[in-house]
Structure 1
Amino acid sequence: MLDDTDRRILRYYQSDPEAPASQLADAAGVTPTTLSRRLDRLRDTGVLKGVRNVINWPALGYEVEVSLRVTLDKTQPRAFDEFIPAARLVPEVIEIQTFLGQVDVRLSVIARDMGHYQQLYREQLLVLPHINDIEALMQVARVKGQETLPI
């Protein structure tokens, strides 16, 4: 389990993962050696999965983001097994989540503009296998995009 030192390290680390180790150690109140050892242990135990960069899609010309809620035809025994690999092949699908309940899958889709989205929807998304129902939720604004936890 995490102790107070681990929580302090994670709190500062998640707020600025690119901070130099010496700065992170100072902020967490530990030595750089302790910080290094603790971060290694957190990685080894799977608490830290890595550092990633977040792409600003609008800066690359992708102005439209849509969340598609998909209900699959569950009378087909391989519906999930065939739908998910096919959805992965669509480059504009940037996230796939599965659920228990009325909605089976949620796809996050990006497009350059509405014309591009309409083309994607008709030519690549609607033809995915075993779709029983699909609902599109057009993103208007990202109100909160923070991925930090209150540690």
Structure 2
Amino acid sequence: MTGIQNSQLDELDLQILDILIKDCRTPYLEIARICHVSGGTIHVRMKKMEDLGIIKGTRILLNLPTLGYDVCCFVGVYVDKTSSFSAVCDELSKINEVVELHLITGNYSLFAKLVCKNITDLQDILMNKVNVISGIERTDTLISLSQPIDRNIKL
């Protein structure tokens, strides 16, 4: 874990994280039972890991195709100059279909993950929302055909 010293996390913390990675809805008392400690201990450990920035919150994982979002794609973004990065990131963050944005090395300046309803929706998003952003020189789009692996890292 980058930035976290070994002395800040012990075996119990790692065990708690492992349980939550498998099912983040596991109640504290159930975690306590599995770990053979009190519910209060789990609460204190969770607060510690939140304060350290290890746990950033909780969120629901949606099955997007069942909600009508059938297309997942990745867009490599070429930014025209370094001074445009912040503005481009700000504008991309306003597009609901952009669910991840990464500053990367390699050919692209940024790499965005988009989800949308269909190819027509994707075309509209690219032409009328993404490619019109000042500072974007051009984009390359890669459409995901399937996602055979979807998991958190094992600790």
Q: TM-score, normalised by structure 1?
A: 0.89
Note if 1:110 corresponds to 2:111.
Answer: no
The residue identity in structure 1 corresponding to 2:116 is A
> Cα deviations across residues 21-63 of structure 1 (Å, max 9, x unaligned)?
2211111222222212211211122221111111222122111
* Residues 12 and 28 in structure 1, CA contact (< 8 A), matched pair in contact too: no
Residue identity opposite 1:126 in structure 2:
N
Q: Which of the residues 74, 92, 97 maps onto 1:92? A: 97
Instruction: Report the alpha carbon displacement of residue 64 of structure 1 after superposing the two structures with TM.
Output: 0.7
Give the secondary structure class of the aligned counterpart of 1:5. helix
- Given that 2:75 and 2:111 are in contact with CA atoms closer than 8 Å, whether structure 1 keeps it comes out as yes
Distance, in Å, in 2 between the alignment partners of 1:120 and 1:129 is 15
Structure-to-structure mapping, 1:24-39, within 5 angstroms: 24-39=31-46
CA distance in 2, matches of 1:72, 1:142: 28
In the alignment, the residues of structure 2 paired with residue 126 and residue 73 of structure 1 have an alpha-carbon distance, to the nearest angstrom, of: 12
Select 1:125's aligned residue among 124, 130, 139.
Answer: 130
Residues 106-115 or 95-104, more deviating = 95-104
Q: How many residues were matched structurally?
A: 148
Comparing 88-97 and 134-143, the one that deviates more? 88-97
**SS class of match (1:100):** coil
Letter of the 1:4 counterpart: E
Question: Structure 1 residue runs of 4+, over 3 Å off?
Answer: none
SS of the residue 2:107 aligns to: coil
Residue 80 (str. 1) matches residue 78 (str. 2): no
Q: Does 1:14 align with 2:21?
A: yes
CA contact 1:63–1:113 (8 Å) conserved in 2: yes
Considering only aligned residues, what root-mean-square deviation do their CA atoms show, in Å?
1.6
Query: What secondary structure, in the 3-state scheme, does the structure 2 residue paired with 1:140 have?
Result: coil
**Aligned 8 A contact 2:74 2:142 in 1:** yes
2:154 is aligned with 1:150: yes
Q: Identity over the aligned pairs, expressed in percent?
A: 23
Q: 5+ residue gaps in structure 2?
A: 1-7
Mark the runs of 5 or more structure 1 residues left unpaired by the alignment.
none
Aligned equivalents of 1:125, 1:133: Cα separation in 2: 9
TM-superposition CA deviations, 1:85-105 (whole Å, max 9, x none) = 121222221221112332110
- Residues 52-91 of structure 1 correspond to what in structure 2 (within 5 A)? 52-74=59-81, 77-91=82-96
